[in-house]
Each structure stands twice: as C-alpha cells, then as structure tokens.
Structure 1
Amino acid sequence: MTTKHFVVPASYGRSFTLKTGDLISIATPSGTQVSDTWAFAADDPHEHLSMDNTRSINSNVFVDKGARLVSNNRRLMLTVVEDTSPGHHDTLLCPCNRAIYRELGASDNHRTCTDNLHEALEQAGIKLPFTPASLNLFMNVPVSADGSVDRLPPQSVAGDYVVLRAEIDLTLVLSACPQD
C-alpha cells in the first residue's frame, strides 16, 4: 500500500478522491486546528455527507470512533475507524462563511470554509449551488442540559488524528478552518 502525505495549508481547502475501502488519516499538526469535512458520492455529488442524518443514525450529536457517517440518502459513506483525539467532533455548527465574518467585523476578503469547499470542489470538476453542513473534526462544542452550546478551544493535542474508511467511492473535502 502506498502512503501519501498531504498538508492542507492553513485557511485553505483541498479535495481528495477516495475509493471504497480507502483509509484517510486526518491529523491536527498543532493540536488547535479544526478541519471542516465534507464528502460527496462519486456517482452523484448532490448526495453528500449529512450531519442531521448522521446524528439520527448514531443517536448522538457527536462523532467518535465507530461512528457511521451517512449521506442525505442515509447511505453509509464513511466510518470512523480510529481516533486518537479526545473525540466528540462537532456536527452542529455551520461552516464559517462571509456573513459570519461580516458580523464579527472582518473584511470581505477573509477566507472561509464555505469558500474553501467550493474552491476545492471546482478543482475536482464539481460545481454545487449549495453548501452542506460540515463535520467539524477536532472542534470542541459541548452541549449543556438546556440545549445551549459553547465554543471552546480544541482539546486535541499536536499529532492527534482521525482515520476514516470510505464505504463508497467519494470526493472528500477538507478545510483548514480560517476562523481567527
């Protein structure tokens, strides 16, 4: 088996083509980086990783080792086969976008995970008119009993990683989140 190593530059995104059975290891080099993550079926990019269906099928708002990541058609796309981080990857918060940064007072040219997704898809020859919710690997978003959420620094440490197994042929997109 050939091992390839890629670095997604800070604040940018990249697409990867995975075949059924392929494994991909996603690491956080500094321990503080979050990776917004999407998957799209190779045979129909309108079938995409779905956070609401993933929460439903796993009966959990977090993704941990063993979680089944399913599409908007509830087809199994990915399985979390290994996770060295504290886990509890976020499925609730949206990918960052220009509107969020405007609310925070950032300039209009601030990079976003939404833009990173569409740039990476375009490089893979895919154009979509929508942005699905992302799986936010390494993001620390505890949920309180009253339903409120908090945004805390990641609990992962440098070198923590998650291994995903592709259960279908797909395009995976990772965004090294540019959130300040």
Structure 2
Amino acid sequence: MTNDAGAGRRASTATLAQARDDARGRSDAAVEAMPYLPAASSPYVPVDVDPASLTWAETVAGPGYTHLTVARGTRLRLEDIGGDACAHVAIYSALNTAERLNVADTQKIPWQAYLGAGHPLLSGDGRVLATIVSDTADGHHDAFCGVTTLAGNARRYGAGEAHSATAAGRELLRLAGTKEGLEPRDLPPTVSFFKGVRVEGDGSLTWTGSAGPGASVDLIAEMPLTILIANAAHPLDPRDDYTVSPLRVHAWSAAASAPADPWWGATPERTRAYLNTHAHVLTRGIA
C-alpha cells in the first residue's frame, strides 16, 4: 500500500507540467508553523493592531527559527502560544552588522540585569538597538545563559543539529544568520524571552520557567535592525524531554522611542544611549 501511494505521487510529477500542477495544487495548504503572506492575511492579527500596518506575520515551530530586517520604528510582538516557547534573540544594526546586541551593556547601562518593560537592548557602541515596551510575561526572561549548543544537545538529547527534533539554539541561529549574510562568528550572546532565570545570593542560577500560555513581549526597533530568532529549549530547562512549543511573531509599522516615553529619561545613562541612537540615525537621514 505504501509503495503504491509512492508510485502515484511519482506519476503525478513525472513531467514538468504535472510537477507544476502539483505545486500549484498545494498553494493553499496550511500548517501550524508558517509565514503568512501578505502579513495582513495572518489569522492571528493582534486585536490592537490594524492588519494593514503589518509587515511580518509568522508562527515559528518548536524548534524552529526565523529572521528579518526591519525598519526603524517597527514594533515586534513575540507571543508564547502554548506556554513552552523560548525565543532566543540576536539583534544587529542593519546599517552595520558589526554593531550588534551586547548583553553585558544591556544589563549594565540600565543598572538592571532582568529584562522587562522599559528595558533597552543595547549594542556595544552605546546605542539602543531596541526597547522592550510591553511585557505580559512577568519578567520570565533571561540575559545570562545564552543558547544551547550542538555538543550540549547531543550529550543531553542525542542530537542537536538544526533539522533534528532536539535542535540546538545556536544551530538554528547559524541558519538564520546565513540567510541574512552573517557567518557563525557573527553570532553574539543572545537574550531569551519566555523562560526565566534568577541569580541567587551565592551566584547560582535558578530556573523560574514560563509565565504560561499567551504571554507576549513587544519590542520597538530604534534603528533599522536585522533580527534572528531561534525558538528552542532553554539551556537550564530541567525537564528530561526537549520541550518547546510554537512561537508567534507579528511586526507592524509604528514609531521609535521619543523623549516623552518614560524609559527614555529613566536614568541619565539611558538618556545618553537614546540620544546617541537618535543622532546616529538622523545623520544618516533616517527619521
């Protein structure tokens, strides 16, 4: 029975015309994890967003990855659909990808190691790449641990290749980066959304898990950005099984941060970082 079905499929694509017809016949197929084109056609448009303003809409498999270059002022929403997504995010200036997320400065400049609403994500050049402007995950994020590796996942789960069922976060980011013209050496330490970690008094790290299904985080792009996202299990996840559920991503045209926003003037260091960013884009003719 299996052989007959296979023969039937081969026959249907035996000629160029049959292959074309077969491909066109699948054009309306839908799966759980996929991009929605155009973005306004997303079946999951956020209730507070005009579909016409959407520039990116996708459900990312668990495990899976995505990548995109976005304009300054783009608002990006990540949603943990099932309560077990973990979005490992690397961010680069699209003006010069040598300027990229610096996790140490992201913790140091705001005098806060834990990510949440109002937290700037900084580059090593003292500029704000993006700002977390909304967070319903109650701080269940991590800026300490980075992503899993091929060797680590192979030891723990038996495999870690990008196309395996237990893909390592770094392997997924390598694929995403390649599609944006980046090399493995260009991958910086990442931040992770939807899986929390806290530092104890003795310096040890405690896993705090997920905020649960439906949590979301919104980022504002403060300059043109290239963003890589790997949806993969967190390195400190204590569960024996590799567990990661789909991640939903929407982006739409909005506005970059301005002096009236509370996070702009929260501390002198933050103000300087936003002023640096503002000057950087203005001198390049970017509004």
Same structural fold, with TM-score higher than 0.5 when normalized by the shorter chain: yes
Which amino acid in structure 2 is aligned with residue 70 of structure 1?
L
Report the counterpart of residue 174 of structure 1 in structure 2. 229
1:80 pairs with 132, 135, 140, which one? 132
Q: Secondary structure at the match of 2:208?
A: coil
- Kept in 2, the 8 Å contact 1:41–1:168? The answer is yes
Q: What does residue 3 of structure 2 align with?
A: none
- Please tell me the root mean square deviation across aligned C-alpha atoms, in Å: 1.6
Give the gaps of 5 or more residues in structure 1: none
Aligned 1:15-164 pairs, distance under 5 A: 15-104=67-156, 106-107=158-159, 109=161, 110-154=166-210, 156-164=211-219
Q: CA deviation at 1:149?
A: 0.4
Give SS of 2:53's match: coil
Residue 88 of structure 1 and its aligned partner are, at CA, apart by 4.4
Query: Following the alignment from structure 1 to structure 2, what is the Cα–Cα distance between the partners of residues 103 and 54?
Result: 31
Shift of 1:152: 3.5
Length, aligned pairs only? 179
Q: CA shift at 1:151, angstroms?
A: 2.2
TM-score normalised over the length of structure 1: 0.92
Larger of the two Rg values belongs to structure: 2
User: Percent same amino acid among aligned pairs?
Assistant: 22
SS in 2 for 1:23: strand
- SS of 2:153's equivalent in the other structure is helix
**More helix by percentage:** 2
Once the two structures are superposed, what CA deviation does each residue of 1:25-50 show, in whole Å capped at 9, x if it has no partner?
01101112111011011122121111
Structure 2 Cα separation of the partners of residues 98 and 163 of structure 1: 29
Give the match for residue 270 of structure 2: none
TM-score by length of 2: 0.59
Distance 1:21 1:177 in 2: 27
Separation in 1 of the partners of 2:184 and 2:126?
20
Please give the alpha-carbon distance, in whole angstroms, between the structure 1 residues aligned to 2:175 and 2:116: 28
Aligned residues of 2:121 and 2:129 also touching (Cα < 8 A): yes
